[in-house]
Amino acid sequence: MNELLGDGRASLRSLAEKLDVSVTTVSNHLSDLEEEGVIEAYTPRVNYDALGFDVTAVMQLKAEGSALPEITETLKDHRQMISVYEVTGDYDVIAIGKFKDTDDMNDQIKSLITDPDINQSNTSIVLNTVTENEQFELEPDDNV
């Protein structure tokens, strides 16, 4: 599993060589992990800055209790929201979005937070991305 975290495009043969097991063993193990939902997909890691999405915004929202599922669904379906979390604490939702510039961010966020079921919002602009989309290596006792 850790070998895939470093290179999601690694071939079964190269994984088998690195792990000193057969290709069949690797294939069977990956199939098991996929069936169990441990591996959900194989997807590229996109560098949004390279595509011109230079502004990252973190939105915190307080929602009317019964409207929470609708609000999170709207955020989830918004193409520029890369993460949406229901959370504990002062806010109910934290959403992270990527935008071309501050005008794009303002337009997008204003359209999202005009929902009358959003009681309060707080938006922060990320000044410096220290780490993002990182995954951690798993230990043998993590049941993988």
pLDDT tens-place string over residues 61-78? 999 889 999 999 999 999
Q: What is the CATH number of domain 48-126?
A: 3.30.70.920
Domain ranges of the chain: 1-36, 48-126
CA distance 48 to 120: 28
- Predicted local distance difference test score (pLDDT) of residue 142: 66
Burial classification of residue 105, based on how many CB atoms lie within 10 Å of its CB (0-12 exposed, 13-18 middle, 19 or more buried): buried
pLDDT for 135 beyond 80: no
What residue type is assigned to position 108 of the chain?
A: Q
**pTM, to two decimals:** 0.79
Query: At residue 27, does pLDDT exceed 70?
Result: yes
Q: Is pLDDT at 8 greater than 90 in this prediction?
A: no
- For the chain, where are the E strands, in sequence order? 55-63, 81-86, 93-99, 118-125
